[in-house]
Structure 1
Amino acid sequence: MRSSFVDPLFLKEVGPIAFTRQVERVLLHLGFTDVTNIDGSYDQGGDILARRNGERWVFQTKWKSTASVGAASVDEVVKAKDYYSADRAAVVTNSRFGPSVLRRRDELLRVGIRVELWSGKELVQLYGEERAFLNRLPERPLRPYQSEAFQRVTDALDEHQRALLVLATGLGKTVIGGEVIARHLSRHAAGRILVVAHTKELVEQLERALWFHISKGTRTQLLTGDHRPDDLRGITCATVFSALSYVRSGYRPDLVVVDEAHHVAENGYFAELLDLLSDVPQLGVTATPWRGDRYDIRHRFGEPVYTLGIEDGMRLGFLAEVRYRLFADNIDWDFVRAASRNNYAIKDLNARLFVAERDEAIRDRLIEAYERTPDPRIVVFCRTIEHAERMAILLDQVPQWKGAEAVHAELHRRERQLRLMRFRAGDTPIITAVDILNEGVDVPDVNIICFARVTHSRRIFVQQLGRGLRLRQGKSHVEALDFVSDIRRIAAVLNLRERVSADEVETLRLSNTGTRFEFSDRAVENLMQEWIKDAASLETALDEAKLQFPDPNVFSD
């Protein structure tokens, strides 16, 4: 029992914050879904929200080093039940409940208010009930390409101690990483795994994702500014600076996995961490291997042992079909005619070429897409936080979009979580966002994506488009509406269209799929195809790069 993540001694050691994480894992093993950790200040008495059998639960977690839990916890979770509109409420502790708790529970039950009480002893009992408590969370069989990628990664780690895996968002890079870790632990039961990423939220998501790849006997822990455990057996999911601090003090894992490996630079915390662990096998995984500073992460991890990009994922049917529509109707043709003999830097060109589309026009196009899409779930990517907030207010005025919300980095972490939870559950049909959804957020039900005049970045474009590409049962396609404000975005889409298939020029229709890329204005499409001869190079060009128009009279009215 010592190795269990509900072992009383382990739960006593982890402290109150990590205890809540262990309860999250318990709930997943008990069949709960949409498990969301809301622990923190002003949580209204609730620490975890979850669903099971159509009911919404709220849990309060009470960690105690020695004492029993008092009656106030029952009243607090009842308050949370009302605040979060939950159907069921429970208090969970690693310790025991005092007599006052039991009396208060019974008093409330007599007036029709039911509160569940789970003690540390009951957690251990649940853990041992095989029918109720799964030994390993349900897993999906690896797809053929995932099996091949897994084999190549493990072969490279065995032979060279380095591997780089490049998989587009939605193709399961975390799945393969999880299976690599599970394989290592099956061979080295006492192994110590370090999984490192650049943000606390991503680290938390990684720990949760890895629970689906390991047995209930494997412990996991967070290592961040808020979590600094003494015992790092099993799997440690860490932010890079916290991991570096422990490694400097002598911590030695026997496998390192770097998620979102494109954040590894030539110098900095990641570089120092990996240098200090140079004799340890290292796996880098990313969907977007390009860096803004031009540093090539192959210098660190070697050539990718397996690559499946967004284009191949779409072409082979491993990602959702895409119906991509570029709205570039707002081209200033007078400027095009006047500028056809001059060179312009991309930054200046974008400012003068594209007439800003009104938010109301974007809203109207979204309504059209909403009405033709079964079970629509929409994400609108905006340029700034202020724009995301403004768009959310505008969209909230549409009757079918009541409750539209913005999700961004300036919100309190719990508020972001609650908004995303409402969106995942279908309570909120549409959200606006800036960069907060680019990495690590899995919302597979998204089937409409809107780019509302965003600044182009190749890496961010692939990440944001990938938010809608994950397959799920009943999802036929994702519709992308792109209101262009950057010539490089047009180059990116033309390049994507060409790489997915070169069968047709105007509107791409893949054999056996409904994927297509098209312009809302044929004249603009013709102009851009002639002008952007080398779409691949323009896609990543700097703001200062110079371009010259062809003769516009051939393409416009």
Structure 2
Amino acid sequence: MLKTSQEPKLLTSNLIEDVLHHIEDSSTIYLLSAFVMESGVKMVLPALKEAAARGADIKILTGDYLYVTQPEALSLLSELPQNQVEVRLWQSNGRSFHPKAFLFSGEDQGSLIVGSSNLSKSALTSGVEWNVSIPNDVSEEVYNEALEQYIHMFYAENTMKVNPETLKFYTQKYAEFKQKYPDLAQKWSEKEEIELTLGPDNPPDVIHDPTEPYVPTNEKPSPRFAQPEALESLQNTYEEGYDKAMVVMATGLGKTYLAAFFAEHFSRILFVAHREEILHQAKASFEHVNEGKLGGIYNGKEKNAEADMIFASIFTLSIQDHLQRFNADEFDLIIVDEFHHASSRSYQKVLEYFSPKFLMGVTATPERTDGQDIFALCDGNVAYEMNFIQAIQRGWLSPFHYYGVYDDIDYSQITWLGGRYDEEELAEAQLQEHTASNILSNWEKHKQTRTIGFCSSIKQANFLSQYFNHNGYQTISLHSKTEGISRKEAIEKLDRKEIDVIFTVDLFNEGVDIPSVDTLLFARPTESLVVFTQQIGRGLRKHLKKSHCTVIDLIGNYRNADVKLQLLGKDKGEGKKGKIQPITPADCEINLDVKTIQLLEELLKKRSPRKERVKMAYDQVKEQLGRRPTYWEMHLNGTEAIKEFKQIWKSYAGFLSSYGELTTEEQTIYETYIDWLEEVERTSMTKSYKMVVLKYMLDRGEMDWVQPATPEEMAPYFHSYLTEKPYRKNIDFTSKNTKALIEYDKAKVANLISTMPLTKWSGSSKGLLKYEDNVFSLNFEVPLEDRALLKKMTEEICEYRLNYYFERKWKKE
């Protein structure tokens, strides 16, 4: 039990004593240090290891500003168990980063320590430092706000998970910086902690408007547009025994109201989102539909845990102490808004904790912004899908007229930082008068009445707003530093046509509805196809005063420029080389100027070779995970089609071998059993049966998996595997010959297995498998010393092929 002082106290020396005391007694330990040094980490590491062993929630955030953080320190922190401890690095990109805070809480109480001390020996012991320790019961509001801000910062897009792969990257950058600035490096190593600049001067681009409740009409609404279809599908899914499903619905079709209608069938409901305004809007919508049920907000400022319907901020709920205020089975229905975020650690922590009767994920974009597939998060079950192209075809969203205009910025000269362009270099290229003139003239040529302009940075938004105003238009630059007008007021001015354009930076991606907007101006490169899709949705809502939405998009030689047009068509053009313009729905148009067409054709010719693209995608996933990804993880997280591995290298193991990614022992196994590994990889699958049989064999253990087996021995496992998940049964127990197998009959199942896959697979395996006298076996020897590793490599392919088979079959249906 914590025994903190009941009053705030000033700590001017030996901070380490208080820090260690809190680590020893706390269940929540959040450390924020502008930089970390090896000397400081060594002082706290043993206590952190003990805290992790007892199950404490530990997070450590540091930064790369001026590369003061030592790679050795990060390496020591990597020794902490990754399933219990998260370490992230703030990528400052040259912006000063100087926060220092330690947050602790436990069964009794905790403390917030804020001051000047980083994680270094001198700062924690004898250095001249001032820190203030505030017990959280003295100022609970301040403590909760600090906790909320910490979580927002910890999971910010520019933070990077520290793992062996990202540590290699940081170590290289660290060495390059030290070589370039040796005097500065020496100064830091001698003094260890010297404040070189003032604190952060460019906070995250978030505007905190006063929350105003959304007041719907008094009359209870009825489902409309796609909602009746989706609601029926959800209800059928639940009645069929599924316990989770995802709904993919384009922006403007009413995902929140759909969730509210579905919630009428449940008693206790949890709605989780990552934006405050979404929580309040959802609460109003749910209360409007669910008469008699009360809603409550659970975030950094409010903690209503007793309401029938709780609307929780993921940043607050994912904090261990808050999560454990609820029982695991507390909620009948959990709804995760913007489900494409749900692969992140904060969401995973919440989803792994709760056991609801049903989990419903809703999103307009079923891919994450980092390329990850979220299909697996709902056990392969998507109850309903309606993208914005389909919705336009059904008349539920406004058509678009797209104008691709030429952007002469040379993006090949701007540093690419893995997921985005270097902000300073990009701004330098964008903040040119001839660039602004090009944007203005194309906007004047194609615009309608109300425009949102999407920019890369605050600097660009301010620059374009000033340029447009200088040329006689009324515009606003809306971002975190905008003063004198709230987002709500700016939207109202645009709606009344008192201004022509709102220039903004990612404020209108999610959770904002402005139906009257009829023009979208993309003055930024498309770094993320998901964000581009979200932003397109801002202009597609139906409105009496618009016939279509005009999209004006600057196209330069940036990444994704030659593939994003596929998002705008019914025909994605897969496999059709040289295809520039997709087929659009009726009343939609795609117009490209001559220079843009020439540029796109040139980009298609210059696309990096297949092998290079696949290797880059692999490296990105490896860095993200901190280790070599499995075949299935590569499919879930990779940005390139997984079929490329098979087409180029015949197997995933072949790819790993060609790039030296296998261990010496794995390389020997690969070379010895290459024919077998390629057979498992390439054998055709009209049903899952071959891989289910192989999985049965593998599940018998490292030594026994190679032993022969009969269909009768396989039958119980075979039937159990295909019926334990509803989607497996629905996909592979639907033909006339297999319907009888739903009610288990061992003889019938064994007879099915004997015919397919045993007889067919042994016949097509080029002698690698044998099925004689009712016995199925490998037709090659595997010595005892090879069995464990060959099993592991075979298992990886089997897992991928089974998961991919069911995913592909579902999508086809």
TM-score tier, shorter chain, comes to 0.5 to 0.7
Tell me: CA distance 1:292–1:477, structure 2 relative to 1, closer, same or farther (3 Å): closer
Q: Distance in 1 between matches of 2:283 and 2:303?
A: 15
Amino acid at match of 1:443: I
Amino acid at match of 2:354: L
Q: Is residue 2:342 matched to residue 1:270?
A: no
Tell me: CA distance 1:172–1:286, structure 2 relative to 1, closer, same or farther (3 Å): same
Counterpart of 2:246 (choices 164, 173, 178) is 164
Tell me: CA distance 1:164–1:506, structure 2 relative to 1, closer, same or farther (3 Å): closer
Amino acid at match of 1:248: Q
Q: Is residue 2:277 matched to residue 1:201?
A: yes
* Contact map agreement 1:169 1:467 (CA 8 A) in 2: yes
How many angstroms does 1:391 deviate by? 1.5
How many angstroms does 1:525 deviate by? 4.5
Q: Which runs of 5+ in 2 are unaligned?
A: 1-207, 621-638, 640-813
Question: Counterpart of 2:562 in 1: which secondary structure?
Answer: helix
* Contact map agreement 1:224 1:238 (CA 8 A) in 2: yes
How many angstroms does 1:153 deviate by? 1.8
Residue 382 of structure 1: aligned partner: 455
Counterpart of 2:235 (choices 154, 162, 183) is 154
Counterpart of 1:284 (choices 357, 361, 364) is 361
Deviations 1:406-425 (A, max 9, x none): 22244479723322333344
Q: Distance in 1 between matches of 2:311 and 2:506?
A: 23
Residue 423 of structure 1: aligned partner: 494
Q: Distance in 2 between matches of 1:48 and 1:253?
A: 25
Residue 391 of structure 2: aligned partner: 313
Residue 103 of structure 1: aligned partner: none
Q: Distance in 2 between matches of 1:254 and 1:442?
A: 29
Identity %: 23
Aligned length: 394
* Contact map agreement 2:566 2:582 (CA 8 A) in 1: no
Question: Counterpart of 2:312 in 1: which secondary structure?
Answer: strand
Question: Counterpart of 2:549 in 1: which secondary structure?
Answer: strand
How many angstroms does 1:332 deviate by? 6.8
How many angstroms does 1:434 deviate by? 0.8
Question: Counterpart of 2:563 in 1: which secondary structure?
Answer: helix
Tell me: CA distance 1:140–1:429, structure 2 relative to 1, closer, same or farther (3 Å): farther
Amino acid at match of 2:245: A
Q: Distance in 2 between matches of 1:206 and 1:265?
A: 22
Amino acid at match of 2:302: H
Q: Is residue 2:296 matched to residue 1:218?
A: no
Structure 2 counterparts to residues 239-254 of structure 1, below 5 A: 239-244=313-318, 245-251=321-327, 252-254=330-332
Tell me: CA distance 1:227–1:366, structure 2 relative to 1, closer, same or farther (3 Å): same
How many angstroms does 1:315 deviate by? 4.0
Residue 173 of structure 1: aligned partner: 255
Q: Distance in 2 between matches of 1:48 and 1:315?
A: 33
Residue 481 of structure 1: aligned partner: 552
How many angstroms does 1:380 deviate by? 0.4
Counterpart of 2:515 (choices 425, 430, 444) is 444
Q: Distance in 2 between matches of 1:328 and 1:146?
A: 39
Deviations 1:16-68 (A, max 9, x none): xxxxxxxxxxxxxxxxxxxxx9658xxxxxx8899xxxxxxxxxxxxxxxxxx
* Contact map agreement 1:157 1:283 (CA 8 A) in 2: no
Q: Distance in 2 between matches of 1:486 and 1:359?
A: 18
Question: Counterpart of 1:379 in 2: which secondary structure?
Answer: strand
Tell me: CA distance 1:369–1:435, structure 2 relative to 1, closer, same or farther (3 Å): same
Q: Distance in 2 between matches of 1:460 and 1:207?
A: 25
Question: Counterpart of 1:487 in 2: which secondary structure?
Answer: coil
Question: Counterpart of 1:467 in 2: which secondary structure?
Answer: helix
Q: Distance in 2 between matches of 1:413 and 1:543?
A: 47
Q: Distance in 2 between matches of 1:346 and 1:293?
A: 8
Amino acid at match of 1:312: Q
Deviations 1:244-299 (A, max 9, x none): 45441135222110001111126x22112111212431101111122245543222
Question: Counterpart of 2:511 in 1: which secondary structure?
Answer: coil
Counterpart of 2:592 (choices 499, 518, 532) is 518
Tell me: CA distance 1:501–1:317, structure 2 relative to 1, closer, same or farther (3 Å): farther
What TM-score, normalized by structure 1, do the two folds share? 0.61
Amino acid at match of 1:200: E
* Contact map agreement 2:410 2:557 (CA 8 A) in 1: no
Q: Distance in 2 between matches of 1:499 and 1:323?
A: 15
Residue 260 of structure 1: aligned partner: 338
Question: Counterpart of 1:288 in 2: which secondary structure?
Answer: coil
Deviations 1:374-417 (A, max 9, x none): xx110000000111122222222343x32x11222444797233
Amino acid at match of 2:404: L
How many angstroms does 1:489 deviate by? 3.6
* Contact map agreement 1:221 1:236 (CA 8 A) in 2: yes
For CA contacts below 8 A with separation 6 or more, give which structure has more relative contact order. Answer: 1
Amino acid at match of 2:311: C
Q: Distance in 1 between matches of 2:591 and 2:571?
A: 10
Question: Counterpart of 1:160 in 2: which secondary structure?
Answer: coil
Q: Distance in 1 between matches of 2:365 and 2:511?
A: 13
Q: Is residue 2:404 matched to residue 1:326?
A: yes
Question: Counterpart of 1:314 in 2: which secondary structure?
Answer: helix
Q: Distance in 2 between matches of 1:366 and 1:147?
A: 39
Tell me: CA distance 1:229–1:516, structure 2 relative to 1, closer, same or farther (3 Å): same
Tell me: CA distance 1:269–1:529, structure 2 relative to 1, closer, same or farther (3 Å): closer
How many angstroms does 1:531 deviate by? 5.1
Deviations 1:149-205 (A, max 9, x none): 222222223421101111222233223222212x32xxx5xx221111112232223
Amino acid at match of 2:592: E
Tell me: CA distance 1:323–1:489, structure 2 relative to 1, closer, same or farther (3 Å): farther
Structure 2 counterparts to residues 134-149 of structure 1, below 5 A: 135-137=218-220, 139=221, 141-143=223-225, 145-149=226-230
Question: Counterpart of 2:270 in 1: which secondary structure?
Answer: strand
Counterpart of 2:444 (choices 349, 367, 370) is 367
Q: Distance in 1 between matches of 2:305 and 2:420?
A: 51
Q: Which range is displaced more, 420-429 or 282-291?
A: 420-429
* Contact map agreement 1:311 1:500 (CA 8 A) in 2: no
* Contact map agreement 2:213 2:280 (CA 8 A) in 1: no
Q: Distance in 2 between matches of 1:360 and 1:486?
A: 19
* Contact map agreement 1:320 1:471 (CA 8 A) in 2: yes
* Contact map agreement 2:223 2:258 (CA 8 A) in 1: no
Tell me: CA distance 1:321–1:538, structure 2 relative to 1, closer, same or farther (3 Å): farther
What TM-score, normalized by structure 2, do the two folds share? 0.43
How many angstroms does 1:207 deviate by? 2.3
Q: Distance in 2 between matches of 1:529 and 1:295?
A: 24
Q: Distance in 2 between matches of 1:510 and 1:49?
A: 35
Amino acid at match of 1:171: L
Structure 2 counterparts to residues 395-544 of structure 1, below 5 A: 395-399=468-472, 401-402=473-474, 404-411=475-482, 415-500=486-571, 510=584, 512-521=586-595, 522-528=597-603
Task: Give 1 or 2: higher strand fraction.
Answer: 1
Tell me: CA distance 1:476–1:348, structure 2 relative to 1, closer, same or farther (3 Å): closer
Tell me: CA distance 1:161–1:329, structure 2 relative to 1, closer, same or farther (3 Å): closer
Amino acid at match of 1:237: F
Q: Which range is displaced more, 438-447 or 221-230?
A: 221-230
How many angstroms does 1:505 deviate by? 6.7
Deviations 1:491-515 (A, max 9, x none): 2333235544779977667564243
How many angstroms does 1:428 deviate by? 2.8
Q: Distance in 2 between matches of 1:538 and 1:309?
A: 28
* Contact map agreement 2:557 2:599 (CA 8 A) in 1: no
Amino acid at match of 2:368: R
Question: Counterpart of 1:152 in 2: which secondary structure?
Answer: helix
